[in-house]
């Protein structure tokens, strides 16, 4: 039946955090639309992962499961084919897709194939006057655009970490296995290898993120940032200039063209606060800024600001944390 379809993916066998966020957004829409929430669970080896049960536990009544060897990391063409077949089976009014590496390729092509409407990189979803209304950043994060989506089906890609994962709301759900016709040899592109950086704490899932900017002066400054992050049990991020300069891996970049994070604590060190960076961390619960320039824009979004040289502020901070941990 028509409703809201979430395109869900798994991460190492478990339902990904981004998929749960989409479920939260779908449930919020459904509270007004009342048309029901279903999910397209796409991947390989899904029979014993418990991902379908996790969707049921979070309020998804019907799970359309596509288990195919071609549905592995990065295979956007295979995911597109699977998502299209599920959408044609479920016939939803709204399709929610995560705006991650794969989702950014899948969403526009899926909307085209379904002859539907498309809005990408959404940060808010709502229903106003019976119509689906979405908000997305515009002008490099300087403004927020509000769009009323009238076309159906409406394919909406949602920026990761823009929505909250929902509380469990168990339902007696069902699983419909969809026999997707995907010929691996006919796919336009194929991923040969996926390389992942190893880290103790994933940046997007970390509850504490310590980020450095151009104000650190070079790659050596990030050694201090890494030490502080380790003491706090968090992850290291950066603004765009250090990533562009090669001081840190591009995967550390946070902002409009990087990752979006929503930790409990975000520490910005030597970051000016350009709108492009703020767009990726503004949802943090508590923001602490350390910068020599008292007029830096970052202080406009920070909850706590420290004006000074990070080389004089962070070492005593690390020492104090060590002292407290030793008690």
* Over residues 179-189, mean pLDDT: 84
Confidence class for position 325, pLDDT limits 50, 70, 90: confident
Other C-beta atoms lying within 10 Å of the C-beta of residue 202? 10
How far lies 303's CA from each of 94, 157, 282, in Å? 37, 30, 11
Q: Is 112 helix (H, G, I), strand (E, B) or coil?
A: helix
Confidence class for position 200, pLDDT limits 50, 70, 90: very low
Model pLDDT, residue 256: 79
141, pLDDT greater than 70: no
List the domains of the chain with CATH numbers: 4-186 (3.40.50.620), 203-326 (3.40.50.1220)
Model pLDDT, residue 106: 96
How far lies 78's CA from each of 10, 11, 63, 93, 110, in Å? 15, 16, 19, 23, 12
In the chain the beta strands, taken as DSSP E runs, fall at 4-11, 14-15, 37-43, 62-67, 94-98, 117-128, 131-138, 143-149, 154-158, 174-177, 208-212, 235-238, 265-269, 286-291, 304-307
Looking at per-residue pLDDT, the higher value among 293 and 193 belongs to 293
* Over residues 52-64, mean pLDDT: 95
Confidence class for position 196, pLDDT limits 50, 70, 90: low
Mean pLDDT for all residues in the chain: 91
195, pLDDT greater than 70: no
0.75 surpassed by pTM? yes
Share of the chain above pLDDT 90, in %: 70
Instruction: Read off the pLDDT of residues 150-169 as tens digits, 9 standing for 90 and up.
Output: 999 999 999 988 888 899 99
Confidence class for position 116, pLDDT limits 50, 70, 90: very high
Among 71-80, 130-139, 222-231, top mean pLDDT goes to 222-231
* Over residues 190-194, mean pLDDT: 76
Closest CA to 59 of 11, 98, 3: 3
* Over residues 198-208, mean pLDDT: 72
305, pLDDT greater than 80: yes
């Amino acid at each position: 039946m028509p409703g809201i379809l979430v395109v869900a993916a798994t991460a190492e066998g478990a339902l990904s955090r981004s998929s749960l966020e989409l479920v939260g957004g779908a449930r919020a829409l459904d509270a007004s639309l009342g048309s029901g929430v279903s999910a397209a669970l796409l991947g390989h080896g899904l029979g014993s992962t418990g991902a379908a049960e996790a969707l049921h536990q979070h309020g998804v009544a019907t799970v359309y499961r596509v288990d195919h060897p071609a549905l592995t990391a990065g295979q956007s063409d295979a995911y597109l084919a699977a998502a299209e077949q599920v959408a044609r089976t479920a016939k939803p009014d709204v399709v929610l897709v995560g705006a991650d590496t794969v989702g950014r390729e899948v969403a526009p092509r899926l909307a085209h194939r379904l002859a539907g409407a498309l809005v990408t990189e959404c940060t808010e979803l709502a229903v106003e006057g019976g119509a689906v209304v979405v908000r997305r950043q515009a002008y490099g994060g300087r403004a927020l655009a509000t769009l009323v989506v009238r076309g159906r089906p409406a394919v909406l890609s949602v920026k990761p970490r823009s929505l909250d994962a929902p509380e469990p709301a168990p339902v007696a759900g069902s699983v419909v296995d969809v026999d997707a016709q995907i010929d691996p040899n006919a796919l336009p592109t194929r991923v040969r290898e996926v390389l992942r950086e190893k880290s103790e704490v994933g940046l997007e899932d970390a509850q504490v993120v310590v980020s450095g900017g151009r104000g650190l002066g070079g790659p050596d400054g990030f050694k201090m940032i890494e030490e502080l992050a380790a003491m706090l049990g968090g992850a290291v991020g950066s603004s765009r200039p250090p990533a562009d300069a090669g001081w840190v891996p591009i995967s550390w970049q946070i902002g409009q063209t990087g990752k979006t994070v929503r930790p409990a604590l975000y520490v910005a060190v030597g970051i000016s606060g350009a709108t492009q960076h703020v767009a990726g961390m503004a949802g943090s619960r508590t923001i602490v800024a350390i910068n020599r320039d008292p007029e830096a824009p970052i202080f406009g979004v920070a909850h706590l600001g420290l004006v000074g040289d990070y080389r004089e502020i962070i070492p005593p901070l690390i020492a104090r944390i060590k002292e407290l941990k030793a008690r």
